[in-house]
A and B are shown apart, each in its own frame.
Chain A
Amino acid sequence: MIMIAPVRPPETGACRVGRRWRQARGFVAATLLNQPQAPTGPPIAAWKAWAFVGWLVLVTAVFGVSMLR
C-alpha cells in the first residue's frame, strides 16, 4: 500500500501574517520575559514584599528630591 503524504495547501496571506505574528511574539517573549527557571524557594508573603517596595519607593523619592535641591 502506498502512503501518500497529505497535500498541504499553499499558504494564504492570512496564514503568513499569523505565522509571522507568532514568531514575533515568541521573539519578544524570549527577549523580555523571564526564562523558565528552577524553583527559587518558598514565596515571600505579599505584605512583606509590598512593604519592601514601599520602602524602596520612599527612599528613592526622598533621594531624588534631595539631589534636586
Chain B
Amino acid sequence: MKTHRPITRRTVLRGLGACIPLPFLEIMATAAPAVEQRPVRLLWLYTQSGAWMDEFTPTATGADWQLSKTLEPLAEFRSEVNVLSGLRHANAFKPNPVVNRHGQDQVCHLTGADLGRVPGISAKNSVSIDQIAGYQLGEQTRIPTLNVSVTSGSISFNANGDRVPSEHRPELIFDRLFGDRSSQSADQMERRFRRRTSILDSVGEQTARLTGRLGQADRDKLDSYMTSLREVERRIEVERRWAGKEPIPVPEGIQRPAGVPESRSRHIRLLCDLVTLALATDQTRIVTFKLGDMGCQYPEIGCPDGYHGYTHGAHGNEDQRRRMCTVDRARVEHLAYLLKQLRGTPDGEQDLLHNSFVHYASGMGSTHGEGERDGDIIPNLTAGRAGGRIRTGLHLDFGRRELGHLYVSMLRTAGAQIDRFVEAEGPLREIEV
C-alpha cells in the first residue's frame, strides 16, 4: 500500500529513532542467574472496543482445537496458549452511567467494579487486579507495577478507585527503567532518598494541616494527594533497599528511544520491547499494557478509519467487518511479537514466556455490552505457563463465568494470597496443573 507523502520532513527523522535489538539471547544471557524457581511475571494485555468473535473463537474445545483466523499469528505459540471463552465480569454489564453500553470496555476490565454502586458519583471504580498484585508482590522489585499504553488512558486503578496513569512515551518508560540508577553512585542515591523523604514528611504535614481547615466537601482531592505521598514514601523505601544492590546497567546495544514513532505498529513493538526489557532486568514483575484504543487508526494495513467505526459497521457491512477483523488480527500479531520477545529471553533454565502468565483480552466482543444479546461474550486468552503451574494448549468454554477466577489464578501462581476477586470465589480450577 502506498503511504507516500509529498513532503518528507517527518520521514527524515525516522532514522534517528532508537531501535532496541531484541531478542535478548546474547545480551541478557548472563543477566539472570539460574536458580531453582524463577518468579512468575504477570501481564495484562488489553485492546479496546472488542473483537469480531466469529473469527476469534476457535470452533472446537478441549485440547484438540484449531487456531481461528484471527488467532493464526499465534501458531508457533499454540501449545503455550489457552483460549478461555465465556469469561467476563458480570458487574460490568449492569446498567451504569459511564460505559455507554461498552460493558467492561472502558474502565472495568481489571477492576470488575459495579460503577453505579455509589449513588451520585458517576463512576466510582475500585482497585484493579494489577494493583492488588502490586500491593502484595510489588516490593520484590524496583517498580511495583509497570503500566503502559499505546495512547494516553489507563485501565489500572488504585485502592481509592483513582486512575493509575499509564505511559505511552517510550523515552519516559526507558528513563524509569534506567534513568538515575544507571548513572548515580550509591552515595548520591542515598542523599537523594534522604532529601526526598524529608520533603515528603514536611509536605505530608502541610497537607494534613490544610485538610483540617477544609470541610468534607473540599477534601477529596487532598485525600488523594495524601495517599499518593504515602505511596511514594513507601516506594522510596523499596528503592533504598534496591540502591544497595548493583545498579542495573542499560543492556549493551540498547539506546534510549527518541520519541513516539509515527507508525502505530512500530510504537506498539517498541513498547513490547520496553516491557520485555523491564521484565528481563527484573525491575518489575507486573505489567498492564493497553495495546489498542477504540480510536486507533491503522492506515498501514488498509484500515485508515477509526477502529470504533468498523466495530459499528461490522454488523451490516462486509467491508467494515473485514477491516475490523484485519485490525483484530494485527493486534494478535502484536501479541505474538511480544510473546516472541519473551520466549527469546532466557530466564533461569527456561525463558521469560515460560515463567509468565499473560492475559490478552478485550472488554467487549462483537456486540455492545449492557443488556444486549451475547454482549458479554468477550475475547480472552492466556499465554505462558506461569513457570509450569498451569495447563496450556486448551480452548475452554465456560458459558458464562466470572473473569475474576482467572485473575485469582494469576495472582496465586505468582505467590499472592488471594481467595476472591470481586464476585469470583477461588481460582479457575480447569487450568490448574
Task: Specify whether A and B are partners.
Answer: no
